[in-house]
Amino acid sequence: MSADIDDTDRRIVDALLDSGRASASELAERAEVATATATKRLQRLEEDGVIEGFQPEVDYGAFGYDVTAVFRLDVDGAGLETVVADLRGAGDMVGVYEVTGSDDVVAVGKFENTEALNARIKSVLTHPEVRSARTSIVLDTVCEYDRLPVDVDG
């Protein structure tokens, strides 16, 4: 973490995590600073790459993505970069992680139906760099994309 991030920055980011559409005056109120200060701080956080855009929370089920699956892959060491790039570019993965432990890659995908999931499983299993794959279908989403507060007063 950058030493340049202080409590005011944390409160601004925390306010944005609550509402990505918060106005500068709303951010200032939450951070207990002047609106001009909040605006300058937000601009600096963006320029420093601490904040990289604002994304809406999307209900993928509303778009027909009713099946969520978790993939755990054992990958040939030299092929790790290729595998994660292929998964990232697949268009149905919402998370791709290089991990430690018995798996090399964990990925989370959203699919319209089990046929689409089956096609992705076959694609993963036949990837020349994947030694083994285990897939779990999510039965119930307890929480997803929960925000992690950064406010020091949390």
60-137: what CATH class?
alpha beta
Q: What is the Cα–Cα distance from 152 to 33, expressed in whole angstroms?
A: 15
| Percent of the chain surpassing pLDDT 70 | 95
Q: pLDDT (tens digit, 9 = 90+) per residue, 8-49?
A: 999 999 999 888 889 999 999 999 999 999 999 999 999 999
Residue 152's pLDDT is 66
Under 8 Å between Cβ of 74 and 147: no
The C-alpha angle with vertex 18 and arms to 60 and 92, in degrees rounded to 5, equals: 20
Question: pLDDT category, 57, cuts 50, 70, 90?
Answer: confident
Q: What is the CATH topology of the domain spanning 7-47?
A: Arc Repressor Mutant, subunit A (1.10.10)
Q: Provide φ and ψ at 109, rounded to 5°.
A: -125, 155
The C-alpha angle with vertex 76 and arms to 79 and 71, in degrees rounded to 5, equals: 90
Q: Which residue has the higher pLDDT, 152 or 97?
A: 97
Q: Do domains 7-47 and 60-137 have the same CATH topology?
A: no
